[in-house]
Structure 1
């Protein structure tokens, strides 16, 4: 439906504890960590990268999530300034992967209109997605993650676009694309490729294209969630086999993620989560960030024992700098911290002014 008249809606301490008259000290509070996404394909030499990373270190940053660029050069500069280097990896969105596009066009997702995202990318030209249900896709992505995790200059692997295409965009983007997405439109509803249809029919006995109302069908929704989760489990295994942590940028809360992008992220066996709590995308204010943190922390706590070994899994709130001037950024950091976040991550490094960095220092003292 095109936009017309639509109203905007909105454990040695245990030994001490065993001695009479002694109490175990309370466990040390986990540090509140600062991260940032970084577009690594910038024309900078080692000295220029070190200058940028020194600014982060002085503001108390812990790690960088770097996409693109020379791994050894950028990692060397980050480590020289005391920062961890995590490689930022586009997962299901393979627009930039010429080998896949040229050799495996059948890997790309298919809409309910039976159009491939390779030939008919939704919304924007780079929205070309591979299907997580396909074994060869998982094998290929697992190999890419294994290669990154095996690299001695990489401290961890960070997944992005680890989901299906947005069946519904965040509310603030509807005007941008001249859309009203109060229902799931078929051109944005993925994936209906032959592999997904056969796999679902084997589980459920139905062809999803023959379901009268596919968006309302709980089993079909669950199938898409599980297809992404199954792929993530394999990617996590690949990173962990090389002793490296694996993290992901995810949609703001588990409930929003399941609804908008078929992403059931609180069930994933990852080491840290970075929900993109970009309040402006949802026509919300900064307190919404705290609400999102609380929902995410509670969801992870409920599944930690079953999925991630029982320990509390860190959640760093993703913050969108273009919508946050320095005072608002300080408020957002404080809000996330008070709500139980283990830290924050900013999008992205080049938007961090000196005033932003001063605001972060003040908010994390």
Structure 2
């Protein structure tokens, strides 16, 4: 026992040190040097630079074929290899067949030479369109670096854009600096430092586009820049290094928006619902978009905002006063001269102008009142934007624009939307940013440094420069003045798949720099427009957690099913959130088998020893919470024996299960949390790689009747290679020694290939159930042992159904499904 405690103590010290080092690393400004490597002279140019820092190389397939040994060498270490096409064509001018052939060949050539998956891409001439991006996605590319951060426009792949500076006027590219702007070597070096300083001030990453044969002309300036970054405390990373750094972010905070305008709210009920839920923060509505105040005494002599805030804070939940900054119809109607104005000269009845000094005074006064009357933990800004491009042409705004841009007179609107468009939209964004800064100053004066300033921004503005222009929400500018960034990744409203959420978070973190990101997730139905299933909500929470520091859910009322009409979420959605929080806490301490150590809290070593000792005593193996492949996890009824999983599998293949067996499957799935599912999937990939020289066709075929499995298998294959568990050779894929060790440990702890394929089948299956009360057919999934009937609204347990039909995504695609006759 003493030896065990000694080992645990040493481990706790190591974890403590690792956590401290990771935290320190996160404060360094990441600088990514990327080289578009395409011409024969690029090889000699790179050799002459003698680069000794990690970098990213976007290489054409043709160059790689002609320089195989050189490409294999630079692929080693911390460098990232991406595709720059095969022959460097204008991709948008090729037909779909030729384009796909070029991109496929480049990927195959680079993977054969480097022995690694190639998932990064940069378009030749930075030319691309949606057709190009969708082709790349189908071929297995995941990340792109063809856009500029000020002008990002694609949202098919995850985008790590090339940096711009001086308000988007300058591109961080040697071609632009050396040829377009004709800078000499001294000027080139000075501009690189200016780029770094501007990004460092905002905590943003720096991505520089270089061509070896070009930057090789200015080696002294280039090497001086590298030394400058080191002296300033920056950190050179490859693109993959940057991803690893982003992946350290795990949700530690969970919030809900309490929107009093949606219906009746009782402070005691809010407290009861949130107590024990794991929610750490509440964005509490102080005023709604109609201008109604919920703080101060109302006609019934009740302070709804104040009473709720006191109860929540006593329970240890942080309360942020939530304000719809520029949306206030009451103030706009009382003070028409405060309102935004459209191009026709019509004043808005709902929106206030951020350029009006009286509006700013009014908003500052509101903040002073709130923080003068209440003990609060933060101020949360919403509607911090314009309603669209057709605002704000008010006299106050046009006069301010003319003054700040050095014009003698107010410009014509035709000019603003013509030759002055970029300057005009940049200025509009600067008004939103300066208003944020002013409110921050007011907040600091009233609440001191202890209070937190956060803002909810449109998710679309993070991934589309057009959206950012339209609404004036420049993430980079606004984030400078925030303590917490909350992108509203409402995928249902946007008409997108839940994966869109992770792209929003990825871009928001890139644009926001080192500001913590809390992903905003919607939790409401919209009758007549969209439904929102528990499975979709579960996926939303999963994608929202990727690279995020927290998750916020809107609104509390519908999440907990306490609203009116058809807006409430399905029963059990609040439990989903509780479970997600619980899973995150339980899996955030340590990851299996030395794969990674994420989210280690910096706590005293003695406390870590106690935690680790307890975990060691009660731990259940990550790969299954089962000791034999024959176990299924207990009966679904008190007197009914459990069926062996192979028997269930055989019945599922016939397409029919009885209700008790279906509920038994649910109990079995609940034995695996999200972390365990991830580790078993990696083990499955390694198991297939071990037995097949080229494993992807075999992996794809494991669940060949399930549409969603192929991209999932590719993702985990890619992850296994990135982790160093497998290597792609010229003609085969092989496990590394590390991969073999991980697979051996997985098998020792209970991993069984056939059993896990059965689990995956259950995870992907759709269950067709007929309500025993009204006879209505419903769709659900094995992960839930109850379903809410769409016809009668009853909550039914699976075991109440005599039989259920089991279908898969290929059989049950689309919103509707042919009626399945239950035998």
**Residues 1:213 and 1:229: Cα distance change in structure 2 (over 3 Å):** closer
In the other structure, the counterpart of 2:17 is 24
SS at match of 2:341: coil
Q: Does 1:59 align with 2:272?
A: no
TM-score normalised by L of structure 2? 0.34
In the other structure, the counterpart of 1:198 is 399
Q: Is the 8 A contact 1:50 1:81 kept in 2?
A: no
CA distance in 2, matches of 1:335, 1:153: 34
In the other structure, the counterpart of 1:356 is 573
Q: Is the 8 A contact 1:50 1:80 kept in 2?
A: no
TM-score normalised by L of structure 1? 0.75
In the other structure, the counterpart of 1:150 is 372
CA distance in 1, matches of 2:402, 2:495: 39
CA distance in 1, matches of 2:399, 2:357: 13
> Which shifted more, 21-30 or 62-71?
21-30
In the other structure, the counterpart of 2:319 is 85
Q: Deviations over 1:159-190 (max 9, x none)?
A: 111111134xxxxxxxxxxxxxxxxxxxxx11
Aligned-pair Cα RMSD in Å: 2.5
Q: Does 1:280 align with 2:492?
A: yes
SS at match of 1:26: helix
Q: Is the 8 A contact 2:462 2:504 kept in 1?
A: no
In the other structure, the counterpart of 2:545 is 337
CA distance in 1, matches of 2:250, 2:501: 21
CA distance in 1, matches of 2:371, 2:474: 24
Instruction: Say which structure, 1 or 2, has more relative contact order (CA 8 Å, 6+ apart).
Output: 1
In the other structure, the counterpart of 1:319 is 521
Residue 345 of structure 1 deviates from its aligned partner by 1.1
Q: Deviations over 1:333-364 (max 9, x none)?
A: 111212x1111111100111361122123323
SS at match of 2:455: strand
> Which shifted more, 236-245 or 201-210?
201-210
Residue 282 of structure 1 deviates from its aligned partner by 1.8
In the other structure, the counterpart of 1:6 is none
Residue 294 of structure 1 deviates from its aligned partner by 0.2
CA distance in 2, matches of 1:283, 1:96: 31
Q: Deviations over 1:134-177 (max 9, x none)?
A: 2222122112112223333322111111111134xxxxxxxxxx
Q: Deviations over 1:303-342 (max 9, x none)?
A: xxxxxxxxx311111111125433222211111212x111
Aligned pairs for 1:228-307 (under 5 A) are: 228-241=432-445, 242-243=447-448, 244-252=451-459, 253-256=461-464, 257-268=467-478, 269-301=481-513
Q: Deviations over 1:256-292 (max 9, x none)?
A: 4513311123322011121111112221010000000
CA distance in 1, matches of 2:356, 2:416: 24
In the other structure, the counterpart of 1:218 is 422
CA distance in 2, matches of 1:92, 1:230: 14
**Residues 1:258 and 1:23: Cα distance change in structure 2 (over 3 Å):** closer
Q: Is the 8 A contact 1:266 1:300 kept in 2?
A: yes
SS at match of 1:341: coil
Q: Is the 8 A contact 1:330 1:362 kept in 2?
A: no
Residue 88 of structure 1 deviates from its aligned partner by 1.0
Larger radius of gyration: 2
CA distance in 2, matches of 1:39, 1:215: 40
Q: Is the 8 A contact 1:240 1:246 kept in 2?
A: no
CA distance in 1, matches of 2:370, 2:418: 36
**Residues 1:84 and 1:210: Cα distance change in structure 2 (over 3 Å):** closer
Q: Is the 8 A contact 2:462 2:511 kept in 1?
A: yes
Unaligned ranges ≥5, structure 1: 1-20, 119-127, 168-188, 302-311
Residue 220 of structure 1 deviates from its aligned partner by 0.6
Residue 55 of structure 1 deviates from its aligned partner by 2.2
Unaligned ranges ≥5, structure 2: 1-13, 24-248, 287-293, 295-303, 526-531, 561-570, 584-823
Residue 227 of structure 1 deviates from its aligned partner by 1.1
